Amino acid sequence: MANNNSSFNMSNLESALIMNAETDNNSFQNELDNLPPEVLKRIEALKQIQNQHDEFYAKFLEEKTKLEAKYEKFYQPLYCKRYDIINGVVEVEGITENDIVKGVPNFWLNVIKHNDIVGEEFTERDEGALIYLKDIKYSKLVDEKGFKLEFFFDTNPYFKNSILTKTYQLIDEYDPIIDKTTGTKIEWYPEKCLTKKIIKKKPKKGSKDAKPVTKTTKCESFFNFFDPPKLPKIDDIDDDTAEEFQYSLDFDYEVGLTIREKLIPQAVLWFTGEADQVTYGDFVHDDEDDEVHDIVLEGEEDDEDTDDDNEYEEDEEVDNEESSKKDDEAA
Protein backbone atom coordinates (compact mmCIF):
# COMPACT_ATOMS: atom_id res chain seq x y z
CA MET A 1 0.00 0.00 0.00
CA ALA A 2 1.57 3.24 -1.11
CA ASN A 3 2.13 6.03 1.33
CA ASN A 4 0.27 8.80 -0.53
CA ASN A 5 1.18 11.40 2.06
CA SER A 6 4.82 10.95 1.19
CA SER A 7 4.29 11.78 -2.47
CA PHE A 8 5.17 15.21 -3.66
CA ASN A 9 5.68 17.16 -6.84
CA MET A 10 8.92 19.08 -7.06
CA SER A 11 7.25 21.70 -9.25
CA ASN A 12 5.32 22.94 -6.20
CA LEU A 13 8.53 23.65 -4.32
CA GLU A 14 10.26 25.12 -7.35
CA SER A 15 7.33 27.43 -8.08
CA ALA A 16 7.39 28.73 -4.52
CA LEU A 17 11.13 29.37 -4.64
CA ILE A 18 11.30 31.11 -8.04
CA MET A 19 8.17 33.24 -7.73
CA ASN A 20 10.19 36.24 -6.63
CA ALA A 21 12.80 35.69 -9.35
CA GLU A 22 10.50 36.22 -12.35
CA THR A 23 11.27 39.93 -12.51
CA ASP A 24 14.99 39.18 -12.62
CA ASN A 25 14.46 36.69 -15.46
CA ASN A 26 12.56 39.27 -17.50
CA SER A 27 15.33 41.77 -16.89
CA PHE A 28 17.92 39.23 -18.05
CA GLN A 29 15.95 38.59 -21.25
CA ASN A 30 15.91 42.30 -21.94
CA GLU A 31 19.68 42.39 -21.59
CA LEU A 32 20.00 39.58 -24.15
CA ASP A 33 17.76 41.42 -26.60
CA ASN A 34 19.96 44.51 -26.32
CA LEU A 35 23.21 42.71 -27.13
CA PRO A 36 25.09 43.82 -30.26
CA PRO A 37 24.07 41.98 -33.48
CA GLU A 38 27.48 40.30 -33.83
CA VAL A 39 27.17 38.84 -30.30
CA LEU A 40 23.66 37.56 -31.03
CA LYS A 41 25.00 35.80 -34.16
CA ARG A 42 27.64 34.08 -32.06
CA ILE A 43 24.97 32.95 -29.61
CA GLU A 44 22.96 31.49 -32.51
CA ALA A 45 26.06 29.57 -33.60
CA LEU A 46 26.47 28.26 -30.06
CA LYS A 47 22.84 27.15 -30.07
CA GLN A 48 23.48 25.13 -33.24
CA ILE A 49 26.40 23.40 -31.51
CA GLN A 50 24.13 22.72 -28.53
CA ASN A 51 21.47 21.21 -30.81
CA GLN A 52 24.06 18.93 -32.44
CA HIS A 53 25.16 17.80 -29.02
CA ASP A 54 21.57 17.13 -27.93
CA GLU A 55 20.82 15.09 -31.06
CA PHE A 56 23.93 12.95 -30.52
CA TYR A 57 23.14 12.50 -26.83
CA ALA A 58 19.58 11.40 -27.65
CA LYS A 59 20.98 8.68 -29.95
CA PHE A 60 23.45 7.68 -27.23
CA LEU A 61 20.62 7.26 -24.72
CA GLU A 62 18.68 5.17 -27.23
CA GLU A 63 21.62 2.81 -27.67
CA LYS A 64 22.17 2.74 -23.93
CA THR A 65 18.55 1.69 -23.43
CA LYS A 66 19.04 -1.22 -25.84
CA LEU A 67 22.19 -2.33 -24.00
CA GLU A 68 20.38 -2.13 -20.66
CA ALA A 69 17.62 -4.38 -22.01
CA LYS A 70 20.21 -7.00 -23.01
CA TYR A 71 21.83 -6.71 -19.59
CA GLU A 72 18.50 -7.29 -17.84
CA LYS A 73 17.93 -10.51 -19.81
CA PHE A 74 21.42 -11.65 -18.80
CA TYR A 75 21.35 -10.90 -15.07
CA GLN A 76 17.81 -12.02 -14.21
CA PRO A 77 18.64 -15.78 -14.36
CA LEU A 78 21.81 -15.14 -12.33
CA TYR A 79 19.85 -13.29 -9.64
CA CYS A 80 17.39 -16.19 -9.46
CA LYS A 81 20.26 -18.62 -8.85
CA ARG A 82 21.67 -16.29 -6.20
CA TYR A 83 18.27 -16.10 -4.47
CA ASP A 84 17.94 -19.90 -4.41
CA ILE A 85 21.36 -20.40 -2.82
CA ILE A 86 20.96 -17.62 -0.25
CA ASN A 87 17.57 -18.89 0.88
CA GLY A 88 18.40 -22.61 0.83
CA VAL A 89 16.10 -23.46 -2.10
CA VAL A 90 18.89 -25.29 -3.94
CA GLU A 91 22.19 -26.67 -2.75
CA VAL A 92 25.67 -26.21 -4.15
CA GLU A 93 27.96 -29.06 -5.03
CA GLY A 94 29.70 -30.74 -2.10
CA ILE A 95 27.02 -30.03 0.51
CA THR A 96 25.26 -33.03 2.07
CA GLU A 97 21.70 -33.24 3.40
CA ASN A 98 23.13 -33.69 6.89
CA ASP A 99 24.26 -30.05 7.06
CA ILE A 100 22.12 -28.18 9.60
CA VAL A 101 22.54 -24.60 8.35
CA LYS A 102 20.49 -23.84 5.25
CA GLY A 103 21.37 -21.11 2.79
CA VAL A 104 23.34 -18.04 3.94
CA PRO A 105 21.88 -16.70 7.21
CA ASN A 106 21.57 -12.92 7.63
CA PHE A 107 22.81 -12.34 4.08
CA TRP A 108 20.98 -9.10 3.27
CA LEU A 109 21.29 -7.85 6.83
CA ASN A 110 25.07 -7.85 6.46
CA VAL A 111 24.91 -6.41 2.94
CA ILE A 112 23.05 -3.38 4.33
CA LYS A 113 25.26 -3.04 7.40
CA HIS A 114 28.46 -2.99 5.36
CA ASN A 115 27.45 -0.04 3.15
CA ASP A 116 28.08 3.41 4.64
CA ILE A 117 25.29 5.15 2.71
CA VAL A 118 22.47 2.60 3.06
CA GLY A 119 23.47 1.85 6.65
CA GLU A 120 23.42 5.55 7.65
CA GLU A 121 20.28 5.18 9.79
CA PHE A 122 20.70 1.48 10.52
CA THR A 123 20.56 0.58 14.22
CA GLU A 124 20.95 -2.64 16.19
CA ARG A 125 17.18 -2.58 16.76
CA ASP A 126 16.71 -3.17 13.01
CA GLU A 127 18.65 -6.44 13.01
CA GLY A 128 15.75 -8.46 14.39
CA ALA A 129 13.59 -7.55 11.40
CA LEU A 130 16.26 -7.55 8.68
CA ILE A 131 17.23 -11.18 9.31
CA TYR A 132 13.91 -11.99 7.61
CA LEU A 133 14.86 -10.09 4.42
CA LYS A 134 15.06 -12.67 1.60
CA ASP A 135 15.79 -10.55 -1.47
CA ILE A 136 15.94 -7.05 -2.96
CA LYS A 137 14.89 -6.48 -6.57
CA TYR A 138 15.08 -3.52 -8.90
CA SER A 139 12.82 -2.81 -11.88
CA LYS A 140 12.14 0.10 -14.21
CA LEU A 141 8.73 1.74 -14.16
CA VAL A 142 6.68 0.65 -17.16
CA ASP A 143 4.65 3.72 -18.13
CA GLU A 144 6.83 6.47 -16.66
CA LYS A 145 10.45 7.34 -15.97
CA GLY A 146 12.01 6.05 -12.78
CA PHE A 147 12.51 2.79 -10.93
CA LYS A 148 11.13 0.64 -8.14
CA LEU A 149 12.91 -1.26 -5.37
CA GLU A 150 11.21 -4.27 -3.79
CA PHE A 151 12.24 -5.81 -0.47
CA PHE A 152 10.92 -9.35 0.05
CA PHE A 153 10.48 -10.50 3.64
CA ASP A 154 9.72 -13.87 5.17
CA THR A 155 6.92 -14.05 7.75
CA ASN A 156 8.22 -12.17 10.79
CA PRO A 157 7.06 -10.86 14.20
CA TYR A 158 7.60 -7.18 13.33
CA PHE A 159 5.19 -6.34 10.50
CA LYS A 160 2.53 -7.92 8.32
CA ASN A 161 3.88 -6.87 4.91
CA SER A 162 5.64 -9.52 2.84
CA ILE A 163 6.94 -6.90 0.36
CA LEU A 164 8.08 -3.34 1.08
CA THR A 165 8.56 -1.10 -1.95
CA LYS A 166 10.19 2.26 -2.70
CA THR A 167 9.37 3.98 -5.97
CA TYR A 168 11.17 6.92 -7.57
CA GLN A 169 9.30 8.72 -10.35
CA LEU A 170 11.63 10.98 -12.31
CA ILE A 171 11.11 13.87 -14.70
CA ASP A 172 14.50 13.22 -16.30
CA GLU A 173 15.98 9.76 -15.88
CA TYR A 174 19.58 10.42 -16.97
CA ASP A 175 19.95 13.77 -15.23
CA PRO A 176 17.68 12.78 -12.33
CA ILE A 177 15.04 15.29 -11.39
CA ILE A 178 12.62 13.73 -8.92
CA ASP A 179 8.91 14.19 -9.55
CA LYS A 180 7.58 11.95 -6.80
CA THR A 181 8.74 9.22 -4.46
CA THR A 182 6.52 6.81 -2.55
CA GLY A 183 7.05 4.05 -0.02
CA THR A 184 5.03 1.23 1.42
CA LYS A 185 3.15 1.96 4.62
CA ILE A 186 4.52 -0.59 7.05
CA GLU A 187 1.86 -2.47 9.04
CA TRP A 188 3.68 -2.88 12.32
CA TYR A 189 2.51 -5.36 14.90
CA PRO A 190 1.67 -3.84 18.33
CA GLU A 191 4.77 -2.62 20.21
CA LYS A 192 7.04 -3.66 17.31
CA CYS A 193 7.43 -0.39 15.40
CA LEU A 194 11.15 0.26 14.81
CA THR A 195 10.81 3.83 13.49
CA LYS A 196 9.41 5.27 16.72
CA LYS A 197 10.54 5.06 20.33
CA ILE A 198 8.77 5.65 23.60
CA ILE A 199 10.29 8.27 25.89
CA LYS A 200 9.47 8.25 29.60
CA LYS A 201 9.90 11.33 31.79
CA LYS A 202 10.24 10.86 35.52
CA PRO A 203 9.22 13.64 37.93
CA LYS A 204 12.05 15.40 39.72
CA LYS A 205 12.28 14.96 43.46
CA GLY A 206 10.17 17.57 45.19
CA SER A 207 8.02 18.41 42.15
CA LYS A 208 4.35 18.92 43.01
CA ASP A 209 1.55 16.88 41.43
CA ALA A 210 3.87 15.68 38.66
CA LYS A 211 3.26 12.18 37.34
CA PRO A 212 5.45 10.07 35.04
CA VAL A 213 4.58 10.78 31.41
CA THR A 214 5.46 9.02 28.16
CA LYS A 215 5.56 10.25 24.59
CA THR A 216 6.30 8.68 21.22
CA THR A 217 8.95 10.20 19.00
CA LYS A 218 10.59 9.32 15.69
CA CYS A 219 13.97 7.59 15.88
CA GLU A 220 16.71 6.41 13.55
CA SER A 221 15.91 3.20 11.70
CA PHE A 222 16.63 1.65 8.33
CA PHE A 223 12.87 1.37 7.86
CA ASN A 224 12.53 5.17 7.69
CA PHE A 225 13.62 4.60 4.09
CA PHE A 226 10.03 3.64 3.29
CA ASP A 227 8.70 6.97 4.61
CA PRO A 228 10.20 9.45 2.11
CA PRO A 229 10.72 13.16 2.80
CA LYS A 230 7.44 15.07 2.62
CA LEU A 231 6.95 18.36 0.85
CA PRO A 232 6.55 21.16 3.40
CA LYS A 233 3.49 23.37 3.24
CA ILE A 234 4.05 26.07 0.64
CA ASP A 235 3.27 28.81 3.17
CA ASP A 236 6.02 27.52 5.45
CA ILE A 237 8.81 27.41 2.86
CA ASP A 238 11.78 29.68 3.41
CA ASP A 239 15.39 29.36 2.30
CA ASP A 240 16.44 27.22 5.29
CA THR A 241 13.44 24.90 5.00
CA ALA A 242 13.98 24.51 1.27
CA GLU A 243 17.68 23.71 1.78
CA GLU A 244 16.95 21.15 4.49
CA PHE A 245 14.22 19.52 2.43
CA GLN A 246 16.46 19.37 -0.63
CA TYR A 247 19.23 17.76 1.44
CA SER A 248 16.86 15.09 2.74
CA LEU A 249 15.50 14.52 -0.76
CA ASP A 250 18.99 14.18 -2.26
CA PHE A 251 20.11 11.81 0.48
CA ASP A 252 16.98 9.68 0.08
CA TYR A 253 17.66 9.36 -3.65
CA GLU A 254 21.33 8.61 -2.93
CA VAL A 255 20.27 5.65 -0.79
CA GLY A 256 17.91 4.35 -3.49
CA LEU A 257 20.56 4.75 -6.18
CA THR A 258 23.16 2.96 -4.05
CA ILE A 259 20.81 0.02 -3.50
CA ARG A 260 20.00 -0.15 -7.21
CA GLU A 261 23.51 0.22 -8.65
CA LYS A 262 25.75 -1.17 -5.92
CA LEU A 263 24.02 -3.42 -3.37
CA ILE A 264 21.84 -5.46 -5.73
CA PRO A 265 24.43 -6.22 -8.46
CA GLN A 266 27.35 -6.68 -6.02
CA ALA A 267 25.53 -8.15 -3.03
CA VAL A 268 28.04 -10.95 -2.41
CA LEU A 269 30.97 -8.51 -2.26
CA TRP A 270 29.08 -6.30 0.21
CA PHE A 271 28.32 -9.36 2.33
CA THR A 272 31.99 -10.31 2.49
CA GLY A 273 33.13 -6.70 2.96
CA GLU A 274 35.18 -6.69 -0.25
CA ALA A 275 33.05 -4.11 -2.12
CA ASP A 276 34.19 -0.59 -2.93
CA GLN A 277 32.82 2.05 -0.55
CA VAL A 278 33.13 4.88 -3.10
CA THR A 279 29.87 6.86 -3.04
CA TYR A 280 28.05 8.84 -5.71
CA GLY A 281 27.89 12.09 -3.77
CA ASP A 282 29.23 13.81 -0.67
CA PHE A 283 27.01 12.04 1.86
CA VAL A 284 29.31 10.97 4.67
CA HIS A 285 28.21 10.44 8.25
CA ASP A 286 29.05 13.46 10.36
CA ASP A 287 27.64 14.09 13.82
CA GLU A 288 27.59 17.81 13.03
CA ASP A 289 24.98 17.15 10.34
CA ASP A 290 22.56 15.30 12.61
CA GLU A 291 20.25 18.29 12.86
CA VAL A 292 19.71 18.12 9.09
CA HIS A 293 18.52 14.53 9.28
CA ASP A 294 16.18 15.38 12.15
CA ILE A 295 14.30 18.23 10.44
CA VAL A 296 10.54 18.16 10.98
CA LEU A 297 8.55 18.32 7.77
CA GLU A 298 4.83 18.30 7.16
CA GLY A 299 3.13 15.32 8.80
CA GLU A 300 6.19 14.27 10.81
CA GLU A 301 5.70 16.22 14.01
CA ASP A 302 6.46 14.33 17.19
CA ASP A 303 3.73 13.94 19.78
CA GLU A 304 3.60 17.14 21.79
CA ASP A 305 4.46 17.11 25.47
CA THR A 306 2.43 19.77 27.21
CA ASP A 307 3.85 19.17 30.68
CA ASP A 308 6.31 21.58 32.26
CA ASP A 309 9.78 20.21 31.48
CA ASN A 310 11.17 21.94 34.56
CA GLU A 311 9.38 19.39 36.73
CA TYR A 312 10.92 16.39 34.99
CA GLU A 313 14.30 14.75 34.72
CA GLU A 314 16.00 13.93 31.42
CA ASP A 315 14.19 11.70 28.90
CA GLU A 316 14.59 7.96 29.30
CA GLU A 317 13.94 5.62 26.39
CA VAL A 318 11.52 2.79 27.13
CA ASP A 319 11.97 -0.57 25.44
CA ASN A 320 8.78 -1.32 23.51
CA GLU A 321 8.86 -5.05 24.19
CA GLU A 322 9.58 -4.66 27.90
CA SER A 323 6.80 -2.08 28.16
CA SER A 324 4.39 -4.49 26.51
CA LYS A 325 5.37 -7.35 28.84
CA LYS A 326 4.83 -5.17 31.92
CA ASP A 327 1.41 -4.15 30.67
CA ASP A 328 0.46 -7.80 30.15
CA GLU A 329 1.66 -8.73 33.63
CA ALA A 330 -0.29 -5.86 35.17
CA ALA A 331 -3.44 -6.97 33.36
The pLDDT value recorded for residue 111 is: 94
Tell me what pLDDT residue 184 has. 96
Q: Which of 40-44, 71-75, 164-168, 188-192 has the lowest mean pLDDT?
A: 40-44
Mean pLDDT computed over 236-244 = 72
Same domain, yes or no: 312 and 298:
yes
Same domain flag for 42 and 180: no
Task: List strands edge to edge, sheet with 163-172.
Answer: 133-140, 146-153, 163-172, 177-183
For the cut 50, the answer to whether the pLDDT of residue 284 exceeds it is: no
Find the domain containing 115 and state its range: 4-34+105-330
What pLDDT is attached to residue 247? Answer: 86
Res 235: pLDDT: 63
Return the exposure string of 26-58: e unless at least 16 CB atoms fall within 10 Å of the residue's CB, then b: eeeeeeeeeeeeeeeeeeeeeeeeeeeeeeeee
When divided into structural domains, the chain yields a total of: 2
Contact 159, 165 (CB under 8 A): no
Mean pLDDT, the chain, as a whole number? Answer: 76
What is the predicted pLDDT for the residue at 291?
Answer: 36
Q: Point out the least confidently predicted range of 23-32, 41-50, 58-67, 167-176.
A: 23-32
Q: Check whether residue 169 and residue 127 sit in a common domain.
A: yes
Examine the pLDDT at 94 and tell me if it is beyond 60: yes
Task: Check whether 217 has a pLDDT greater than 50.
Answer: yes
**119 and 186 co-located in one domain:** yes
On the question of pLDDT at 161 being above 50, the answer is yes
Q: Is 56 in the same domain as 193?
A: no
Average the pLDDT over 37-42 and give the result.
76
Question: Under the phi-then-psi rule, with left for phi > 0, alpha for psi from -120 to 50, and beta for the rest, what region is 142?
Answer: alpha
Confidence of residue 274 (pLDDT cuts 50, 70, 90): confident
